[in-house]
Structure 1
Amino acid sequence: MEAKLKPSKLEINKYMILENQLKATKAKLERVNRLYSILSKINHAIIRIKDIELLYKEACRIAVEEGLFKVAWIGIINEETSLLEPVSQCGLNHEEARKLTDDFMEKGIPHGGIIEKVINSKNYVFADDVKEKTKNKPWHKKIIEYAINSCTVFPLRIEDKVIGVMVFYSEEYSFVEQEEINLLNNLCEDISFAIDTIKKDKIKKQVEEELIQSEERYRKIFELSPAAILVHSQFKILYANLAATELLGVEKKEGLIGKNLLDFVHKDYRHEVIKRKFELKEFGVPLPFEEQRYIRVDGTVIDVEATASLFPYKNQNAMVSVIRDITETKKLESLKKSSEENIKLLNEAREYDRLRTEFFANVSHELRTPINVILSAIQLLNLYIAEGNIIDEEGKVGKYIYSMQQNCYRLLRLVSNIIDITKIDAGFFELQLKNKNIVDVVEDITGSISGYTEHKRINLIFDTDTEEKILACDPDKIDRIMLNLLSNSIKFTNPGGTILVSVYDKKDKVVISVKDNGIGIPENKKNMVFERFQQVDKSLNRSHEGSGIGLSIVKSLVELHGGNIRVESEYGKGTEFIIELPVKLVTDSSNNADKTIAGESIEKINIEFSDIVQ
């Protein structure tokens, strides 16, 4: 009998190594088979289930119940908040699942964690020895309780965009090999594809159902729509509303039915239109408005905006195009641009006017100073003549001094008028309103020029139907108004003529009239007397001096009082200026008589009457 040889220690070790390798290979095959089983069952679920929430739930259930994983869950990124929202899980109880959701919704994706790495890299991440790595984490106890040792996270992607993750927890250490990774990755790709498909199918189904249910409603809307609407299949027009016939220049809708839509599209845009229609057919998503150019039947090219959408029409898949004529909009844009340019020019003109006003104001002030110096010198000369320090036996010096004085007054009046015009134009001219007896104001200033009228042998008459009428006015400006009107009357009234100044009480207003029987104003010149720098007689050899701005200022001063002024005249018979002032009062105004210095009043008259030679 042959004796059995006892195996050596080395042979025993080799045997044990082979046995362990066989066990590992067998375990790997079991895991791979389970993964294939999971992949197969989830693919069957993808084919069977059309509800996205049920698909999430079924995928997690299959991954755990097949026994390969302890826990599996899916999280989807909310496009509005960018938060990862757990949508389904298997392996956790209700309280644990709620805690998982709350953590992500309140704290967001853990910074630097494996989920953030997966989303940023768009690739899977495998973590082993989870117990050791989560010692300081709140969920460490659960890791111990569930005997979890490894974790794998895969991205869910649609067109290279990560829309979420699928997470697997296992009790095995470092069990994942490349073949298993590939299978799990394929599983997540299939789930991603299913999510995308279900979403698109849902959108497509909703659009189709809504179109079917509201076909008649849409038909009415189409007919009433101001935009052109064309339903077409393979670019063959099946339906057109009234606006489409007007847009394309066709008399009746029947004239468009059966025509090719591309025949109305400008050749430069046909390729883009064809491309857009193919995109619509492939994805089913309505196209955004895009600017295009169309051609009417008469050959006119028009600018339009066009959009399109899938549209079921008479049991066939078709498309509906909405086309808006934007030709007028283009014109309005051009008009707007032109308007902006005009506004720019207007602003430049205003700036020029401001500079011009500022220039006149500065020049006027610079002129007034030397004129006053000259006037002061003239007054000294008059004083020297009166005291006998200057001998003027024949009166020639006095005559020349008087001429200089009158012309200085004329210059002062002109400068003052220019300053006032600039103030009025700039809105800086202010009245010093006081409650005054307008009858006294007008009577006093009228009486103060009696010397001029006597010298000219003109009768000056003042008349009133009331002795007192209190109203708010600026006495100095009323004086100026009256002096200007009286100056004009004296200049244009011949010796022996009459000037009548009247004041009438009309309860809520006062009427002041300055009437003469002078030369009058031609009918065709009456409208220009209040215009600035305008004169009835513009000839160089005219008999009366003037700048043509006095009556313009008079009109402005009257209007600043809230009143109005008009002129009535008949050529050769005389002129009447009629002022109407509203009866208003101001508060905190003294009715006491103004203490006017006689010299100031005389100089004011001399300035206003500087054109009248005595």
Structure 2
Amino acid sequence: MSTSPTRSSTVKSVSGHQARLVIIVATLLGLTIGIGESVLEYFGLRSDLFETTEKAAQAFEQTASVAVVSRDPELAAQIATGLLHFEAIISVELTDQTGATIISEQRTFPPLEDHWYPELFPPVTHALELELSDPATPGITVGSLRITASSWQISEEWPNRLAVALLAMAAGIAALAAILFYISERFVTRPLLQLAAAYRHLNADDPKQSPLPEPDDFDFLEYREIAASGARLMRDITRNSEVRDLTASELFRSQKRFQDFAEISSDWFWETDRDGGISYISASFTKTLNKRSGEIYGRTLAETSSEDTQTPKWRGLNDVIEQRRQFRDFRYDIESQPGVRKTVSINGRPFYDEAGTFIGYRGTGADVTNERLIAEARNEALQRAEHANRTKSEFLATMSHEFRTPLNAIIGFSSLLAMPNTRDMAVERLADYSGAIQQSGQHMLELVNDILDISAIEAGKRILTLEEVGIGAIFTHCISQVDGQARNKAITISTSVEMASDLMITDERSIRQILLNLLSNAVKFTPDGGAIRCLAEADGSEIVFRIEDSGVGISKDRLPTIAEPFSHSSIHPHVAKEGTGLGLSIVRSLAQFLGGSFMIESEPGAGTSVTVILPRVGQDTSLAQDIDAAD
């Protein structure tokens, strides 16, 4: 490796640039610091000047009050003269409470002399006004003392002081720069040039024919060590060049073989450094997951994931890596593009250098998104099947219980009526039997109607008939239907209907069914002597119905499923109150059918509150004008 004769001159030119740079940087830094300190000192002196002025004014405050009260012009003149003795004060004015001037004196300064640089700190004035109080009666203002101060003297003297300081600083910096330049030239630049000359004829391409630098040619120990290291390096290069020639072709073939395998494989290969950062990943990864290599290199496996990496799964992987153990089929999600999630499976094992030192992990990866989707679909289908089977079992258990009770009553009482001695019974007993049969039949009819209603609503076959419905009238009618049951249990029903005379356009049968179900449930689960409160209020274009009771309440774990079909508030359907458990389910389905919403709040022992919010005008708006006219 040959070098041109200009190599040494280039190094010397760098030395000159280095010296100039040291001088320039030192000078600019010193000037900047000096000017900054001078400016801070200037503003500090000016602040002290004005502070002294304020203290002087406060010292004359009481005497000025006496002068104003006594209206003594001689004393006022003495105060003005005393204050003007302060070089910073340029005007003094003493006035009484009416604004009349007792004395006003001022002085002017000659214009500032021309300086050796433009005026940077012009003089500024500072005005101060003190309210004077009567010495005999504190708190009563008798006049004011106005003083104006100027920083003229500081502005006049400051340029010369600043120039002297900067010149002295520049001289010191120049001397320091010269010393630094000499030290750099003597102990750094010259040895480097000497070392460069020794290495000038070295040729790494032909180390056997390259002369080695002699360590004894250098005066300093550090450069001797550099020269000795260079000699050892050239000897190593000589030995290694022979090995390099033998292994270069084999290395090329091995690299090409690995590259071909990595590119044609459907899986990908990856490698990390000892800190966990990915240092290699094959092209199959970028093709499969739509990622560029630059997005992956240097990041850890956790940093490539779109999952929460603080979960036990990731903590377990970190433990395996820290213990330098092999892992297989670790699955996690990667966001290949916004909104698109893919699942990958990776295998890895640690690898070490010749000395047995851990230097990273190597492994393979595969896209298993389709496997995940198939598994999720299978699990979802199993859950739906289990839910359907559970619902069927609950339905059969509930229906068998609910239908068996009234059927037993009908069969039992009808059997009594068919007995030969029935005609000898009193008329009242026969009426009781027939009434029990009728009541049981009515109960069965209600059960069948509930089942048909919920089936029609969920199947979308419920017919919606929109008409004008009086809010107060529908509430009154529904309350009257449960009033007898409430009186039997001494339950008080109160109403708070803000728009008793208002109308809404909706399906009257559905509204009545919603309110009757809510009121029946409230009466059924409210103990004797309890209270039920019915509310209706307008909220913009919506009507809010709310039924509150002081009943047994519902536990928090039952609230999410209490409105599901065949669900009871009790733990077991067979020990619940009478009914199929379809009441709240019908209410929720009807509310959604009418375009509204349903909400339930409850606490055990504190009662239950059910809220139904419905649109004031249903989907058919042909009658909207009628309700506006009614309002």
Q: With structure 2 as the length reference, what TM-score do the two structures score?
A: 0.37
**Which structure features the higher share of helix residues?**
2
TM-score of the two chains, using structure 1 as the length reference: 0.37
